[in-house]
Amino acid sequence: MNLLPIIDEPALFAKDINALIVADLHIGIEHEIFLAGAKIPGKTGEHQAKLIKLLKETGAKKLIIAGDLKHNIPVSSFREVKEIPDLIFTLFEYVDEIHLSPGNHDGGIKNFIPGDVKVHSSKGFTMGEYGIWHGHCWPSEEIMASKRVLMAHIHPQAAFVDGVRARSMERCWVRGKWNRKKAMEKYPKLGNNFVMIPAFNDLCGGSHVNDNGRRRIGTVLRNELADIQNAEMFLLDGTNLGKIKDNLVVGEKRFFRKKKP
């Protein structure tokens, strides 16, 4: 198999193109958390160390970021201004190429990265048998025709509910196939399957893909182009949870005050 999830890490190694693939670093999210009233240590150094470790272990000479390298929009924080260029320059010591398919948080990203980074269309790009795009907008026909589509944006998580209704979440991979009848109304040619990439930054939160009451995000999920019910969930440690439809949890109840007559 050419596409290998790295055990206990939200990262893929594509052997055939010698690339490490990650998504949703959301550098600068700490500033948003600070504005909300909590001060936490910056995580960019931790992310940098982890990426370097993964690049060394895999020997990858390409790094592919499937969107949302930065976090704050429309105005970027001092963290993005300082930390993104430093991170990219450091990573170029270990790889020959860095590719970015911009996400919805990557507005103005070219102002933060050196020109050596290959910034592709937000509709995605192809490399080898893979179509790679962030997931917030409609992908190109070329992406959907790729043998395997890699997408981010959803921040997939598996939700677990215990006997006293306590809920916990774990980041997960989602692998599935297209709802061909629905998808081919928009795309004349479809590849074999898709893989949802979990968020690299664990501060991001996520979408509980097995929550039956949760609103779907991303164009292909929201418009039912993906056969999400028959897709499989895998935890970062490799545990196969089976199909989403066999692991559904009841949506969280929300209570609202009744309006006075």
The band of 184, judged by pLDDT with boundaries at 50, 70 and 90, is: very high
What's the pLDDT score for residue 256? 39
Decide if pLDDT at 6 tops 90. Answer: yes
> What domains are defined for the chain?
3-246 (3.60.21)
**Among the listed residues 146, 147, 169, the one whose alpha carbon sits nearest the alpha carbon of residue 158:** 169
Question: pLDDT (tens digit, 9 = 90+) per residue, 109-145?
Answer: 988 888 899 999 999 999 999 999 999 999 999 999 9
**Among the listed residues 176, 133, 143, 172, the one whose alpha carbon sits nearest the alpha carbon of residue 155:** 172
pTM for the model stands at: 0.91
The DSSP symbol for 122 reads T
DSSP secondary structure letters along 9-75: SS-EEEGGGTEEEE----BTHHHHHHHTT------HHHHHHHHHHHHHHH--SEEEE-S-SB---SS
Q: Give me the residue label for tokens 């306590």.
A: 166
Question: pLDDT (tens digit, 9 = 90+) per residue, 42-79?
Answer: 889 999 999 999 999 999 999 999 999 999 888 888 88
